[in-house]
Amino acid sequence: MTLHFYKGYSQVRIWMDEPLPPAFIGDTRWTTTLPAASPASSTPRSAGVEIYFITEPRTVYAAIGGAFTPNPNATQTLVQVEATDTYAGDDNLPWVDALARGLDTVRVGIYREYLRGVEGGLRVASERGLLQAGALRLNRGAQGELGSSVMAFAGATFLLLCVLWKWEHLEIIAEVDLMWQLMVGGDFLRVIGE
């Protein structure tokens, strides 16, 4: 199921129980382990999040997705994130269906420089008790040449984890609304402690 949220010219697209379309094979794999706040659900899940905010004078763009495999015997969340070389240039294919198409050049892959944002989003999710025991593999995503940043990937990662583990629609809508307030107001770096 795909949910599409609009607010002015800004948009969020969420894939639930289906992967984010652009898959890639990274040349870097970043791995970490975080404490799980709750036991694993019995259901593997996949999800994706794409955010596109217009915050004059610039845009904010990030897309990230992956799959979670529960492990009822674990007490931690093992996270693996695929990333690509920042200087890959034209080797990373454009994503023609991206929300930011036409205003930004969006390429498949998550550049290594944005791993700090992914880590920040994971840290906020861990502090808020969102992580479940098991393995989380983030191997889908896209970044914009103009709109992507550490902040954009922190926000997108946090929202992705809300989608994976707060499955009820009303909670997801509340998280999307909070994301708009934080991103458009420029306060998300303060939330993740940067």
The 10s digit of each residue's pLDDT in 164-173 is 876 554 455 6
Tell the residue number behind the tokens 């379309």, with chain if given.
Answer: 21
Range of the domain at 95: 2-192
Residue-level pLDDT at 167: 59
Residue-level pLDDT at 137: 94
Q: Alpha-carbon distance 17 to 187, whole Å?
A: 30
Q: Tokens representing 36?
A: 């799980």
Q: Alpha-carbon distance 117 to 152, whole Å?
A: 7
Q: Which of 189, 133, 122 is nearest to 160 (CA)?
A: 122
The total number of structural domains in the chain stands at 1
Q: Indicate whether 191 pLDDT > 50.
A: no
Q: Indicate whether 31 pLDDT > 70.
A: yes
Reply yes or no: is the peptide bond before residue 57 cis, omega within 30 of 0.
yes
Q: Tokens representing 173?
A: 């809508």
Q: Indicate whether 107 pLDDT > 90.
A: no
Q: Alpha-carbon distance 151 to 73, whole Å?
A: 34
Q: Alpha-carbon distance 8 to 18, whole Å?
A: 27
Each residue's pLDDT tens digit, 67-88? 999 998 889 999 999 988 754 4
Q: Tokens representing 6?
A: 């609009």
Return the amino acid letter for 28.
T
Query: pTM for this structure?
Result: 0.85
Per-residue pLDDT, averaged over 184-192, amounts to: 48
| Top-confidence range, 70-79, 87-96, 99-108 | 70-79
The dihedral through the CA atoms of 35, 41, 47, 49 has a sign that is: negative
- DSSP β-ladder status, 10-16 and 28-35: unpaired
